[in-house]
Structure 1
Amino acid sequence: MAEDTLNNSLEDILARPIHISKIFIHGLLRTKEDFAKNVSRKLFDAKTLREYLESAQDVQATFNNLGVTKGVGLKLDVSDDGSEGLFVHVNLVEKKRWAGAVKGFMGNDADAKIGIGGGLNASGLFPNLLGRGEKLSCCWQQALENNRKEIVFQKPTGTDYDSVASTSAYSYSGNVVLSGFKEQHTGVTLDRTINYSDFMHKFSWLGVWRQLLPLSDKTAWSVREQAGHSLKSSLKHEMTFDSRDDVILPSQGIIFRLSQELAGLGGDCHFYSKQLSLQLNQVLPKSRIVGQVGCSVGHVQPLNFTAGSVNKPLSILDKFYLGGPTSLRGFENKGIGPREGENALAADFFWLGYASLLLPPPGVRGGLLDKFRLQLFVNCGNCSNWNTESSWKKRYQDQLSTMRLTYGAGIVTNFLGAKMELNYCFPIKHQRHDKVQSGFQFGISVGD
């Protein structure tokens, strides 16, 4: 009874009408006053104490997410001059002018046997560079088979600063060992990221000078004949919806991603590429068991912009690979698809489907062991060149008849922000030229 009375009193307090007449910003150093006022102006819209608390959380999150502050305090006060309305004091604790770090890293590596690689990363960050949430970052990354240097400038845009405009310049060099070539990229990008409703849209222009070189005299001829320089100028659009409750081991929610790229607006690369992926996660009724199903599909086709001209063959740099502990289990990295000798040649079409059950350790709640999950899975897919000369029915029949299929079980956990898994795989459908890996398979993936 007393608890109900307390709850009713709290609801009455939160529903009490208020009027905010002035906002004072304190702690401005590099931050421009007009920017801070624009971020804080939503506090004026609060008509009740509950709405004020919600708006205050939004203001704190905006300042912190833009990298402007390391802490924001808000104080609601009565006016000291006898005027009507309440005053809000916003106290900002700005971040330092710059930050840097040198650290080791581990992540996806499509050319490593177990799908992971590592190296050294040195990075620098200059937050709130011009006083309105701008950010300048740079990094140098060195791994066993590749290195990358990049500098990125970002500026928040939009009425609520929930969109980002950015530009970057980068240089990348790496050995694609499983395909027998070395690639060098030097490029610039222009990006605009917009959040609309529950979707995030990213529009990009990419200008990249690329060089492909044989890795050794054992490189397959199909790869060697593509050696040389190319210039890619492309427009790209990515649309993402993500309602998952966790990025690494979600228990519920959906992630949907559609990516399209049109190359040929300048340069000598002409193609249209599209990829779609979908993942569904749901806790099974009256249990802690999580069911997960998903699929991915991608296709790239050559284009020509001159009437009567012949399509230029697609570069191996623009095609797809499949296989490995973080894509289609039971096969080595890039172990599915066209091959010549020991070199994976990639393909212009792929699809992947999977289903998993994630079970908590029996009899365990809380503690270290509860961070692990038992995994039962089945996955299937294919990676091949799409035969445009045959009928649609024949294409689908070919895809299903040459489908790869694997089932198995294993252990999975979230290890320092990465998905780590050890599985025992049973590949039951494969092709003669595939690189099959039955038995134990270990991998780490970062991201989706």
Structure 2
Amino acid sequence: MMGTVHAKEMEGHSQMDNPAPRKRSIDFKQPAKVQRVLIEGLVRTKEDFLISKIQDTFKAENFEEVVRQCVESKSQLQELGIFKTVKITVDTSKAPGASASDYEVKFTVEEKRFEGGVHTAAGNNDLETSLTMGLNNLFGRGEKLSARYAHTRNFRNRKNNQAHVHFTKPLNGNPNVRLVLGGYSTNTDVLLSGYKEASKGIQAAFTFPSTVGSHNIQWDGVWRDLRALSRTTPFPIREQAGHTLKSSIQHTVTTDTRDDKILPHEGFLLKAVQEYAGLGGNVEFVKLNTELQLNKEILPYIVVQLSAACGTMWGLGKEKRVTINDKFFLGGPLTLRGFHDRGVGPHVEGNALGTDAYWLCAAHVYTPLPFKPGLGGFGDFFRSHAFVNVGNVGAVELDKSLKENIEQLSEEFRLAYGLGLVLKLGNIARMELNYVVPVRFMNGDCVNPGIQFGVGMTFL
């Protein structure tokens, strides 16, 4: 039960007078009114910060509504992320002159001051080890100061070290409306494209919900130093080396109705990202990226999933630069299966150059393994699936019509199909072991037929 309902006996009766508990029935439709709400356990939290979370309990008109509003208030307190535990006690009011229908509600909380730890997580074919530390409720109104250092190693020996510091402030006590300020530093070796990058930046973000989904508006100012990874890095990548200063504004809107983020049965995901770089610095472009996923259970535990993604970008200004670290890349065991990571599109001496546009579609049929799926057992983490992936990369030319650009992107498409096993890793990542048959590919593509293994948080 989310809360505890206490019914006290009249004064003057001891435990010896009532040796056995008596059964009592509660009419949840009986009139009830909350006269007082107490919050115990506050140390740093300001009381005015919590008023909006508990004030609806005073609107209840019967006992059922009292219980429902208390549970809703508890949920809102937990969403703030500043309490370890929240407990509810509902009791009859002892205030002078109180009637039998008057109640008192007490929330007992335990504040969460510090948090942190060492974690290991799977990324897009990466294994990441991270150290996190955080100070919660810094000024008593839900603020958080967090620091994170992560070391990532790709299964093909790409290295990535990153450090982040962020200050988060919920606005008007709403954890879904936040202001985030921060800074970061990263060092990345991108083996498949023959370069390494060091970057240092600052950012400010504002997140808020709406009727069409959750929004994130973010500004980034970052200095980047791009270098050749080795002496064998080809000239088309070497000539892009050097320092760039990028100042960009990015808007992301996400609508997600899926019942599970990794192995959903129903629901859809729509995510659209728009970015403009050019608010200063020497990088200027417009970049658009969209992802759509639809899920439908056609028979018990048999799910059809249809996915699509596309993106395009345009460089702006004659003296502005668009370098390889801002481009799109396609291919990999969780996206365009049957190809290596960054395996589709232009390459030079085995190094992927990236493109200005791409599109990708996928169709999956998921079926359960014989481990009693849906009953909370081992089988809930596994699925078998058959799939078809099709996609292409290219460039959008502004001097051509929309029809001409679509025709260009639809020519020389890549196609692969296969089947395999999917393992759900918590609620953030998945692992796939597939047998893939690439049907259509082009000269220069890095094809990966047969057994293909992948781990990641994003998939199509």
Give the TM-score of the pair, scaled to structure 2: 0.88
Q: Percent same amino acid at aligned positions?
A: 36
Gaps of 5+ in 1: 1-10, 109-115, 305-309
Question: Which residue of 205, 212, 229 corresponds with 1:191?
Answer: 205
After the TM superposition, which of the residue ranges 78-87 and 171-180 deviates more from structure 2?
78-87
Q: CA deviation at 1:17?
A: 3.7
Matched with 1:278 is 292
Whether contact under 8 Å (2:33, 2:66) holds in the other structure is: no
Asked if residue 446 in structure 1 is aligned to residue 457 in structure 2, the reply is: yes
Q: CA deviation at 1:164?
A: 1.2
Q: CA deviation at 1:344?
A: 0.4
Matched with 2:436 is 425
Residues 330-369 of structure 1: matches in 2 within 5 Å? 330-362=338-370, 364-365=372-373, 366=375, 367-369=377-379
Matched with 1:92 is 109
Matched with 1:104 is 120
Asked if residue 386 in structure 1 is aligned to residue 385 in structure 2, the reply is: no
Q: Residue 139 of structure 1 aligns to a residue in which SS?
A: strand
**2 CA distance for matches of 1:103 and 1:425?**
32
Letter in 2 for 1:87: E
CA RMSD of aligned residues (A): 2.1
Whether contact under 8 Å (1:248, 1:447) holds in the other structure is: no
Residues 264-275 of structure 1: matches in 2 within 5 Å? 264-275=278-289
Q: How big is each residue's C-alpha offset from its partner over 1:140-198, in whole Å with a ceiling of 9 and x where there is no partner?
A: 11223110011111111136443111111100010011111001111111111101235
Q: Residue 37 of structure 1 aligns to a residue in which SS?
A: helix
**1 CA distance for matches of 2:450 and 2:256?**
33
Matched with 2:77 is 63
Q: Residue 123 of structure 2 aligns to a residue in which SS?
A: strand
Gaps of 5+ in 2: 1-24, 154-158
Question: Which residue of 34, 38, 63 corresponds with 1:20?
Answer: 34
**1 CA distance for matches of 2:324 and 2:64?**
57
**2 CA distance for matches of 1:41 and 1:391?**
57
The count of aligned residue pairs is 425
Matched with 1:3 is none
Letter in 1 for 2:268: I
Q: CA deviation at 1:411?
A: 0.7
Q: CA deviation at 1:131?
A: 1.2
Whether contact under 8 Å (1:180, 1:343) holds in the other structure is: yes
**1 CA distance for matches of 2:48 and 2:399?**
61
Question: Which residue of 119, 133, 157 corresponds with 1:124?
Answer: 133
Residues 24-423 of structure 1: matches in 2 within 5 Å? 24-80=38-94, 81-83=96-98, 85-95=102-112, 97-108=113-124, 116-144=125-153, 145-158=159-172, 160-197=174-211, 199-284=213-298, 286-304=299-317, 310=318, 312-362=320-370, 364-365=372-373, 366=375, 367-417=377-427, 418-423=429-434
**1 CA distance for matches of 2:146 and 2:60?**
36
Q: CA deviation at 1:49?
A: 3.1
Give the TM-score of the pair, scaled to structure 1: 0.90
Q: Residue 162 of structure 1 aligns to a residue in which SS?
A: strand
Whether contact under 8 Å (1:25, 1:36) holds in the other structure is: no
Whether contact under 8 Å (2:122, 2:456) holds in the other structure is: no
Matched with 2:3 is none
**2 CA distance for matches of 1:270 and 1:158?**
36
Q: CA deviation at 1:247?
A: 0.9
Question: In 2 relative to 1, CA 221–52 (structure 1 residues): closer, same or farther, beyond 3 Å?
Answer: farther
Larger radius of gyration: 2
**2 CA distance for matches of 1:335 and 1:18?**
66
Q: CA deviation at 1:38?
A: 3.1
Letter in 1 for 2:119: K
Q: CA deviation at 1:58?
A: 2.6
**1 CA distance for matches of 2:30 and 2:442?**
70
Q: Residue 60 of structure 1 aligns to a residue in which SS?
A: helix
Letter in 2 for 1:336: V
Letter in 1 for 2:452: Q
